[in-house]
């Protein structure tokens, strides 16, 4: 392998060592290695094996300065996904920025549940409430090609990102700028529409739980999409459940990502709205993070 730039002095091995020297104490060795892999693949199109086999290859001065600036941002615990401007979700590449939450593995599990339940259907209508980056809506549209998918969010900036991601992944989604807490604000009147599936990963972290949130999330991801007041933590679940009572088709399904500490309370809320067959499901870490219910 030829040097990437013969004017450079720092080698790939040097760069890897610099990442670990400056960041291991903050992020841990394993996560820092994942940063190295992501950064070198994104900026130099190198795989981890290239770093091992060609560690003495030099990098250009401009790239060296770029990587040092990335290290400085990682020192401030800025998410690597925001630094690179992209992430992967359910095998799809998505654009992300500080207007949107970074998609999580447990959300992939929720999406997988919906796909498994509906992949046999010829026609289906889906509404994703609080779409953010569009990860849920886009993945469902990609894996359920017969679905008509709508996606709602209160943030215009988030919807701009979601629309870009829909184009990137070549799916057709109708986006709606609205707050589910103020249904009259919708630019598209969904109050008269009926859906087979309503899904949401709404804000559910109580402000009292903020001390347990990692700095990379707390200091960089949008609080609008994260937090709810301590005295009304299920405010979005109430509004969405009330909407679903009127806008789900008979025997339609509602799916939620939930606060792991409020599974029982969320299930009771769905019961109050007379949903049936309510199922709490654990994620791969053994925490109750998902819920499904059927309209009676």
Q: Describe the chain by its helix, strand, coil percentages, rounded to 5.
A: 45, 20, 35
Q: What is the DSSP pairing of strand 288-295 with strand 275-282?
A: antiparallel
Q: Is the dihedral of CA 189, 194, 200, 202 positive or negative?
A: positive
On whether 131 is known to bind a ligand per the annotation, the reply is yes
In a 3-state reduction of DSSP, which class is residue 234?
coil
Tell me which residue of 260, 228, 238 sits closest to 106, measured CA to CA: 260
CA separation for the pair 105, 61 (Å, rounded): 36
On whether 202 is known to bind a ligand per the annotation, the reply is yes
CA separation for the pair 24, 194 (Å, rounded): 51
On whether 130 is known to bind a ligand per the annotation, the reply is yes
Would you give the DSSP letter of residue 277?
A: E
Q: Is the dihedral of CA 131, 258, 34, 217 positive or negative?
A: positive
CA separation for the pair 125, 111 (Å, rounded): 15
On whether 153 is known to bind a ligand per the annotation, the reply is yes
On whether 134 is known to bind a ligand per the annotation, the reply is yes
On whether 132 is known to bind a ligand per the annotation, the reply is yes
Answer yes or no: are the C-beta atoms of 147 and 117 closer than 8 Å: no
**Secondary structure, 3-state, 152-204:** EECCHHHHHHHHHHHHHCCCCEEEEECECCEHHHCCCCCCCCCEEEEEECCCC
Known binding-site positions for substrate: 201-204
Known binding-site positions for S-adenosyl-L-methionine: 130-134, 153, 201
Known binding-site positions: 130-134, 153, 201-204
């Amino acid at each position: 392998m030829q040097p990437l730039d013969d004017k450079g002095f720092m080698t790939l091995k040097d760069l890897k060592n610099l990442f670990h020297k400056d960041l291991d104490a903050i992020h841990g060795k394993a996560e820092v290695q994942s940063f190295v892999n992501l950064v070198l693949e994104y900026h130099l199109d190198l795989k981890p094996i290239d770093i091992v086999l060609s560690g003495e290859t030099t990098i250009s001065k401009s790239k060296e300065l770029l990587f040092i600036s990335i290290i400085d941002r990682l020192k401030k615990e800025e998410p690597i996904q925001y630094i690179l401007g992209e992430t992967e979700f359910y095998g799809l590449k998505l654009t992300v920025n500080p207007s949107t939450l970074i998609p999580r593995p447990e959300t992939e599990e929720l999406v997988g549940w919906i796909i498994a339940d509906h992949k046999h259907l010829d026609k289906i209508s889906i509404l994703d409430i609080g779409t953010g980056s569009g990860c849920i809506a886009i993945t469902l549209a990609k894996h359920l090609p017969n679905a008509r998918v709508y996606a709602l969010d209160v943030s215009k900036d988030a919807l701009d990102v979601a629309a870009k991601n829909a184009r990137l992944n070549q799916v057709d989604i109708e986006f709606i700028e609205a707050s589910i807490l103020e249904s009259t604000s919708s630019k598209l009147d969904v109050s008269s529409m009926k859906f087979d599936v309503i899904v949401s990963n709404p804000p559910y972290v109580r402000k009292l739980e903020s001390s347990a949130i990692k700095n990379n999330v707390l200091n960089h991801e949008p609080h609008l999409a994260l937090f709810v007041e301590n005295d009304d933590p299920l405010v979005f679940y109430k509004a969405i459940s009330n909407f679903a009572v009127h806008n789900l088709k008979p025997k339609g399904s509602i799916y939620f990502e939930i606060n792991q500490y409020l599974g029982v309370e969320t299930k009771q809320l769905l019961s109050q709205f007379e949903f049936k067959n309510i199922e709490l499901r654990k994620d791969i870490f053994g925490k109750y993070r998902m819920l499904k219910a059927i309209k009676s």
